[in-house]
Structures are given as structure tokens and as C-alpha cells.
Amino acid sequence: MTPASTNVFTEFLDDYFAECDEHLTAMRRNLLTLESLAQQERVDVSLLDELFRSLHTIKGLSGMVGLAEAEQLAHLMESILRALRRHQLDLSDEAVDALILGTRTLEQVIATRQTRQPLPDIAPAIKQLEAITGPLPDLPPSPEETPTAATETRLPLPRESGPPAFTLREGERAWLFQFTPARALAERGISVDSIRTRLQEIGQIVHAAPRIQDGGKVTFEFLVTTDADDSTFTPWQEDGLTWAPYEPPPPTPAATGLKAVPTPSIGPPNVVRVDLTRVDDLMQTIGDLVISRARLEDTLTSLARHVPAAQQRQLQEINQALERQLRSLREGVMRLRMVPLGEIFERMKFVVRDLARERRQEINLALSGQETEIDKLVVERMLDPLLHLVRNAVSHGLEPAEERLAQGKPAEGTIALRAATAGDSVIIEIEDDGRGIDRERVAEQARAQGLLDAEAPLDDPTLLDILCTTGFSTRRQADRASGRGVGLDVVKKTVEELGGSLALDTEVGRGTRFTIRLPLTLAIVDALIVSVGGQRFAVPLPSVREVIEARPKDVTVLGNEDEMLSYHGDVLPLIRLAARFGLQEQFERAFYVLVAAHGAKAAGIVVDRILGQREIVVRAISDPLIQVPGIAGATELGDGRPLLIINPAVLIGSRR
Amino acid sequence: MPNILVADDSPTMRRMVIASLQSLPNVHFEEASSGLEAIERLALAPVHLIVLDLNMPDIHGLEVLHFTRRHEVFRSIPVIVLTTKGDEASRAEALSAGAAIYITKPFEPHLLAQYARDLLETA
């Protein structure tokens, strides 16, 4: 039955994509675990169950939104898992490969549907999957083929009989918990779900079942093995829980020798899913609040002369409290937008695994800091750049095994992917222990292409700038993994658009490390408010290294009219904001220079005056007709007059 | 006001079911994302119709169905089993256990609504 009215459900497409994404993420993780178990006798049943359930949900939902290709792929993969679950099929490399290809194709089908592009060819994946299952008739399969489809994926849950056998580890005890749900408890947020989560935190739930008491009251029984002391759960009495030590019945002959089946983590985590646009709306309102508070502060300042000191202090205290509370409100909403980087790190595992196979090379991917959180939007934008850097590390970085062994390195190459939070930034590192970048070769090429002066030294920042130049390549032949030098410029551009920076460290024979620094949030930043030619501009504080006061006589003009300022024993090229925007400078004796850097280049941005430091709300300028290089957006300070936000990196980058 | 319990581990699927039944007069919805939760909902508020998915984590939909049929208080609540293609084998089991109707996904929203209306009226 295919609904003629499928379009009824198109309003749920965004939910569909989001939910599929969650399942695909879980599937990728589970498949990699499964792969590591290939050809083993016993496979963790819960792993197969979880994969099965993900596919089952994707299949059901795909059918509802009319995406038949996804439905078909999920159905075939589900059949393989069912056969594995019933031991009708061995967990061979071929089966795992087919599942992985199937997952990737499924992912592509869903992604192309989302971006409204033509769907990919699913025939190769179908062919490979059918080679494992044997050709299946059209959907739905006949009942004979799936005689116990439903019971197969059911968790062991005896009905009125006793709980299943389980094993206790050193120091563990078994407890039988009983939870009686009640409305009063539900109003306090205490439900069977939260109780289950609570019990999972202290140990393992071996068995869970509903019971009806005399009088018709429903209770839930949980058998839990834990090393926690019963003082841990004493306070839980108030939450409708009772417990008693549980004595397992003596093992029956049939039960001995059976290993306990690990119970999968059951139930969803305690999470609400919110549409990102709602969070954006909230952020917008907070932005408006920030502006209103700035107006309040300005009004207070202008009233200062007319208000007695005591009242003025009170007003100031209220104003400051408001500022603090607004900051914590903003941080709270920001946290809603944060997602762990682990999700995209998981994807990298998949990519590395494929590349390793393709190149017939052992590659170890070491991940750390997966729990580091960053803005959802940043994660989405960073996926492709990170993919690119990881591919680069494999194809340009790691040497073939023989070459590595000859150099006394382990045959297995290592790629490390690390993330950490540092102040207002998130730092992501991609490091390989490969051959490093051959400076001489790059320098030679760069000189040939006119990108580097004959005698100029090639330090890491300059090297990065050259590698990031569009079209620059030292590879004679593009290879499949990384393409031809295309991309590093895109990586850098994306990072900079997000207000971050990219750095490079490399040592020949030892390896290469890329370091990406990204701001935690995008919407509100601290900025310097400056004035040039009577106009105000905002410059984000994180991009300003230093502010120096200078006088016209300190400036040296070179033959090509470039202006330089002596700076820490070096020279600093100057960019006059007034000249950039057709304004007339209006300073008296001295002007100010904001020192900022962009890759290897540092420069000073000349302004008339510094007006102060403020928290500003960044409003992007989305109309391409009024987008100007060097302008990151616009903001207002509460007086109703807009001002432009400068992006120093772009100004410096575009300097001749 | 009739209370309809929608039990499915997929939040999107629950929304689709609720959207399909929204047109029924004066109905109120309860949601559950697992078998245990479904039973808790039944214990906490009177329910007049259950739309039940089979393949759910922790307690399978068939277990929930068996549980409700075994106990006096819940026995008369009509159950629509709404499950994904491929589970057809459980059709006979579900119907003999006492499910009123067995529907496979993808389902026709107006048909689901029609069945629900009939069951609420006869109950």
C-alpha cells in the first residue's frame, strides 16, 4: 500500500531528515564495532538489535515520506541483520562490506533528497546486498520468509516467569526495584523513563517488566546489578521506588553455561529535540534585549547629572545585574545550540576505514575530545573542511607501509583528531605521523608560480598561505582521495568565515598538524567601537591583538605608496579604513592602529578614535548585492543607528 | 474527551499519526516512546484508544498488547496495531491477541482516522 496522499507528510520532511540523521550516526558507530567483530563466533546481539531498529525506523519513515529508494535499501539491510540475528548467516567481511555500502548509499539517498538533487544510483548497493541475502521478492516479503520476524527482535523479557540468568561481577549485588507511577510523581518529572535512566546510571538493568498489583495498580519491576551501596538509593523512597536484595534462583541445568546477554541501553536519552529556527528566534530576542539594555545604559549615563548619587548607584547596580543575567541567559540559549563534535568524528572513522581499504594500508585513527561542544551551525559548516583535511592527511601525509618501516616508523600510520575548548574558542587538531610537507618542493613550485619571492624564507604560516592559494598544487597527478590541491583554500575560507583561524605545523619525516580555532558562538561578540571620518564601526575583539597610538610622523611611506609603522622591531603595513570606505580621516594629533593578523600577514588598521568596548549582536548581511568584502555584518548599539562590523582578516587578506 | 495513546519509538512517526487523527472531534493525545512508557501512560490517565507500534525498545508492542488484554482494567481499550512492512508475520499473533485492526506503514492518513473514529464510537 503506497499512500496516494504521500504529500500529506511533506510537512514532516525536516523531522524525517533529523531523525534519519540520528539513526545513521548510530548505525555508522555500530557498523564499525560490528566490523571489528567480523568472523567471530559470537556477536553481541544487542548490537544487531540496535542496528535493526535503526533500519526499521528509517524504513518506516521513508515509506511515509515516499522515498522508495531509502525504503528498499533499509529493507534489504534489515533482512541481512535478521539473518545474522538468527545465525542463518555468518558475519563475514562481505556481509559487513555490503552493510557499509548500503549505509553509505542510504545516507546519500536521504541527503540528496534533502538538497533536492537527483538521487544517486542505488543499483550497485542493491546488487551487493542481494548477493548476501539472495534475491528477495518485491516488498513486502512473504510471511514464510519471516516466520518470526516480530519475535526475533524482541528483547528477552519473560512474561510472568522469573527474570533471565545474569552474572554478577566482583563487588556487585542484584536488587529488585519496584516503581509505582503516580500523577503526583509525573508532575515532578518522575516517570518510568526517568527511573530507568536513574537505574542505568548506577548499574545494569537485567530485566524490566510491568506488573498489576491487587486492586489494579500498575507497577514496574527492574532487576538491577550494581556495585552501588543501598545508601545511594535511600533518598529515592520519596520518588515511588521500593527495593529489596534479589536472590537469584539456583541455576537450572539448561541455564548453566549460557552467557548473560548484555542488555542494550534501553530507551531514548533524556533529550528534547528543538527546531534550530526556534532557537534562532530566541537568540534574536536576546539580541534585541542586549540592545535595549545598551539603550538603558546610555539613558542612565545621560541622566547622571540629574539624579542624586544614591539613586544613581542603585540604578547602576540594577543595570549591572541586568547585564549579568542577560549574559547568563544568552549563554544558556547558546548551550542549546551546542552539539558534541563526536558526531562528525564518527564520520571520519568511516572515511578513514574506506581510505585504508582502498590503499591497503593500516591506519589508526585516534580520537579525543569527542565530547567537546560547538555551535550546531559550525558543526555543519565544518564537516566538509574536516573531511578534506583527514583525506589529505591519508593521501598526502601517510607514507606506504614499506617506506614507513624503512624509516623506523610503525607500519600502521596514525591520524589523530583532537578537540578541546579553550576560553571562548574550540580548537580542533588534525595530525598525522607521515612524511611532513616538503618545504623545498613547495618553495620551488611557489617561486615558479610567482607566489613567493626568490629569497623569502618559508616558515609555517607562509607555507600554509601558499598551500591555501587556489589552484596551487605540487601533485603531478590528482588522486581519488584528495583531488588535486583543491580544497585547502576552501578549508581556510570556511574557517575564516566562521570567525576562526587555521594554522599549520609540519616537520619532514615526522608529520603534519593542522590546528583550527573556532569561536564557540557566532551571534554575539565583544567588540571595539571605533570611529573613522565621523562614522562608527565595530571590530570584534577576538581578532584584535593590540591597539597602539601613533602619530603621522611615525609612518614611513614606501615607494609604492604603501605605509608602514615600526612595530616591535619589525614593520607593520597599515590599512586606512577611511581610504577603504571613501571617508575623510578626522583625528587631531594622534590616531589609533588596531593590530590584527591573518595567517602569516599582520597589519594595522588605522582608525581615528576608540569609542569603547561593547557586546554587539552580529546581524549577517545576506543580500549579495550589498555584501562588501571586509564587512562581517551590521549591528546597532541601541540608539537606532546601524553600524558596520569589520572583518579584519578579510581586509588583511585582500591587501595587495 | 477521548484520549488516544500513540506509542511509537519514532517521534516523527508519532507526529504523523497525531496529524492524521487531528481531525477527529475533541480528541486528546498521549505519547509514549517505549513499551514501558506506554504502560505507564495507561496507568496514569484513562485511555480510549491505543495506536501501537510493534518494534519498540524495552518492551515489544506485542508484549504491551498481551499485558493490556490480561488485565481487566485495560481489556476493553481498542488497539490499532500500526507497524512497518516486514512484520506481517506478527499480524496473526496481534489479531489473535486482541488487536482490533492491523495496519502497515506507510499508511493512508484518512483510513487510519476512519478506523479510529469507528473504534471510538463503538467503544
Instruction: Report ipTM (2 d.p.).
Output: 0.93
Within a domain: residue B114?
A: no
Within a domain: residue B63?
A: yes
If asked whether residues A509 and A388 sit together in one domain, one would say: yes
Is pLDDT above 60 for A253?
A: no
Q: Do B84 and A59 touch (CB under 8 A)?
A: yes
If asked whether residues A335 and A367 sit together in one domain, one would say: no
pLDDT in tens, A334-388: 788 888 888 888 888 888 888 888 888 889 999 998 888 888 878 888 888 898 8
The predicted structure's pLDDT at residue A267: 43
Give the model's confidence band at A54: pLDDT under 50 very low, under 70 low, under 90 confident, else very high. Answer: very high
If asked whether residues A331 and A476 sit together in one domain, one would say: no
If asked whether residues A554 and A612 sit together in one domain, one would say: yes
For A48, the domain range is 6-152
Lowest mean pLDDT among A54-58, A158-162, A441-445: A158-162
If asked whether residues A136 and A18 sit together in one domain, one would say: yes
The predicted structure's pLDDT at residue A161: 43
The predicted structure's pLDDT at residue A41: 65
Q: Do A5 and B108 touch (CB under 8 A)?
A: yes
Is A208 at the interface with chain B, CB within 8 A?
A: yes
Exposed/middle/buried for A450, CB within 10 Å: 0-12, 13-18, 19+?
exposed
Q: What share of chain B is helix, strand, coil (3-state, %, to 5)?
A: 45, 20, 35
The mean per-residue pLDDT over the stretch A260-266 comes to 40
Within a domain: residue A268?
A: no
Is B108 at the interface with chain A, CB within 8 A?
A: yes
Q: Do A63 and B85 touch (CB under 8 A)?
A: yes
Is pLDDT above 60 for A594?
A: yes
Residue of A nearest to B43 (CA): A218
The predicted structure's pLDDT at residue B51: 97
If asked whether residues A178 and A232 sit together in one domain, one would say: yes
The predicted structure's pLDDT at residue A631: 82
What whole-number distance in Å separates Cα of residue A401 and Cα of residue A424? 40
Element (H, E) at A598: strand A591-598
If asked whether residues A365 and A512 sit together in one domain, one would say: yes
Tell me the sheet residues that pair with A576: A606
Is pLDDT above 50 for A78?
A: yes
Angle, CA of B45, B48 and B51, to the nearest 5°? 100
For B103, the domain range is 3-107
CA distance A17 to chain B (A): 10
Give the model's confidence band at A164: pLDDT under 50 very low, under 70 low, under 90 confident, else very high. Answer: low
If asked whether residues A347 and A326 sit together in one domain, one would say: no
Q: What share of chain A is helix, strand, coil (3-state, %, to 5)?
A: 45, 25, 35
Is B52 at the interface with chain A, CB within 8 A?
A: no
CATH code for position A178: 3.30.70.240
Asked, as a colleague might, if the bond just before A140 is cis with ω within 30 of 0, I would say yes
CATH code for position A448: 3.30.565.10
**In total, how many domains does chain B have?**
1
What whole-number distance in Å separates Cα of residue A280 and Cα of residue A266? 32
Give the model's confidence band at A653: pLDDT under 50 very low, under 70 low, under 90 confident, else very high. Answer: confident
Residue of A nearest to B32 (CA): A193
pLDDT in tens, A183-234: 888 888 889 988 998 898 888 888 888 988 877 789 999 999 888 888 888 8
Question: Does residue A461 or residue A249 have the better pLDDT?
Answer: A461
CA distance A155 to chain B (A): 7
Within a domain: residue B74?
A: yes
The predicted structure's pLDDT at residue A159: 40
Question: Does residue A425 or residue A620 have the better pLDDT?
Answer: A425
Q: What is the mean pLDDT of chain A?
A: 81
The predicted structure's pLDDT at residue A309: 85
**CB of A223 within 8 A of CB of A247?**
no
Question: What is the side-by-side order of every strand in the sheet holding B3-7?
Answer: B28-32, B3-7, B49-52, B79-84, B101-105
Is A46 at the interface with chain B, CB within 8 A?
A: no
The residue among A245, A265, A295 that closes a domain is A245
Residue of B nearest to A52 (CA): B55
Within a domain: residue B41?
A: yes
The predicted structure's pLDDT at residue A270: 62
Is pLDDT above 60 for A558?
A: yes
CATH code for position B27: 3.40.50.2300
Give the model's confidence band at A541: pLDDT under 50 very low, under 70 low, under 90 confident, else very high. Answer: confident
Element (H, E) at A424: none
| Low-confidence spans in chain B with pLDDT less than 50 | none
Exposed/middle/buried for A116, CB within 10 Å: 0-12, 13-18, 19+?
exposed
The predicted structure's pLDDT at residue A73: 95
Give the model's confidence band at A139: pLDDT under 50 very low, under 70 low, under 90 confident, else very high. Answer: very low
The separation between CA A546 and the C-alpha centre of its own chain, rounded to angstroms, equals 32
Ranges of beta strands (E only) in A200-344 are 203-212, 218-226, 241-245, 338-340
pLDDT in tens, A85-130: 888 888 888 888 899 999 999 999 999 998 888 899 999 999 999 9
Single-letter amino acid, residue A34: L
Within a domain: residue A257?
A: no
If asked whether residues A139 and A241 sit together in one domain, one would say: no
Is pLDDT above 60 for A143?
A: no
- What 8-state DSSP symbol labels residue A267? S
**CB of A80 within 8 A of CB of A98?**
yes
Within a domain: residue A265?
A: no
Is B99 at the interface with chain A, CB within 8 A?
A: no
In sequence order, which residues have a C-beta less than 8 Å from that of residue A503 and are 6 or more positions away? Answer: A460, A461, A464, A514, A515, A517
The predicted structure's pLDDT at residue A516: 92
Interface test with B, best of A56, A157, A220 (most B CBs within 10 A): A56
Give the model's confidence band at A530: pLDDT under 50 very low, under 70 low, under 90 confident, else very high. Answer: very high
CATH code for position A96: 1.20.120.160
If asked whether residues A465 and A358 sit together in one domain, one would say: yes
* Residue whose grid cell is 545598551: A294
Phi, psi of A432 (to 5 degrees): -120, 160
Within a domain: residue A594?
A: yes
The predicted structure's pLDDT at residue A1: 44
The residue among A519, A543, A562 that closes a domain is A519
**In total, how many domains does chain A have?**
5
If asked whether residues A505 and A384 sit together in one domain, one would say: yes
In sequence order, which residues have a C-beta less than 8 Å from that of residue A308 and are 6 or more positions away? Answer: none
Give the model's confidence band at A265: pLDDT under 50 very low, under 70 low, under 90 confident, else very high. Answer: very low
* Residue whose grid cell is 572583518: A647
If asked whether residues A309 and A358 sit together in one domain, one would say: no
Is pLDDT above 70 for A623?
A: no
